[in-house]
Amino acid sequence: MLPLVTTGATLHRLWFTGLLSFKDRSDEQDCPHGWTNWSSSCYIHINTNYTWSYALATCSALGSNLVDIHSKSENSFISNLTSSNVWTGGVLELESNSWHWDAGSPWGWTGWAPDHPPGQLEGCLAVQGGIWLSVDCSSQKTVLCEIKGEEEEALDIVTGRSGAAPPDRTTS
C-alpha cells in the first residue's frame, strides 16, 4: 500500500509544480512548463542528487529519458543549461566494454575529457562543464532529462511503463 501512496503523492507533486503534463507534445508546441526547448528536444534539469538508476526512474516518471548527447552544439547547450555535474543516458556495457545510450539512440560524437584514461572506465556517463566523465553509477549527481522531438506519441505516465516506481530522494 505504501508504494501506491508514494507514487500518487509524487505524481501529484509533479503535476502541481508543472513538471508533469498529460497533454501530447508535437514539434509545433512549446515544451511542458518548466522545460527548456533546444533544437527539436525539451530539457529539464532537476537539481537534486540521485544515483544513476534513480535518475533514470525520475526521467521515466516524467515521460522522458536521461539526456543523450549527439553533437558539440548540444553538448555546449547542456553545459550552459547547468553548471552542475549531471547524469546522462550513457552507460557502459561491461561485456563489450562499449558505451551506448540507454534510450537506444546511436552512440556517435563524444566529449570525453582530454586526459580520460581509457582503461579506467566506470559504468555511467556524467557531464560537467561540457566534459564527459565515466563515473560509478552509485555516486550522486543531478539529473538532466530530455524529451526528443522525434517521439510523436506521448507516454501515459501512469500506465505506460511498468515497474518504474518513483525514486526515493537522496542527498549527498
Query: pLDDT per residue over 133-154, tens digit each?
Result: 989 999 999 999 999 985 433 3
Determine the straight-line distance between the first and last CA of the chain, rounded to whole angstroms: 28
Say if 159 falls within a structural domain.
no
Q: Which residue type occupies 110?
A: T
Say if 13 falls within a structural domain.
yes
Say if 18 falls within a structural domain.
yes
Domain housing 114? 2-147
In tens digits, what is the pLDDT along the chain, a chain of 172 residues? Answer: 555 445 555 554 554 555 555 444 444 458 999 999 999 999 999 999 999 999 999 999 999 999 999 999 999 999 999 988 999 999 998 888 888 999 998 888 888 877 775 555 789 999 999 999 989 999 999 999 999 985 433 333 333 333 333 344 444 3
| Whole-angstrom distance, CA of residue 25 vs CA of residue 83 | 28
DSSP string, 96-154: TTEEEETT-PPP----B-TT--TT---SEEEEETTEEEEE-TTS-EEEEEEE-TT--SP
Say if 41 falls within a structural domain.
yes
| Whole-angstrom distance, CA of residue 159 vs CA of residue 41 | 23
**Domains: count for the chain:** 1
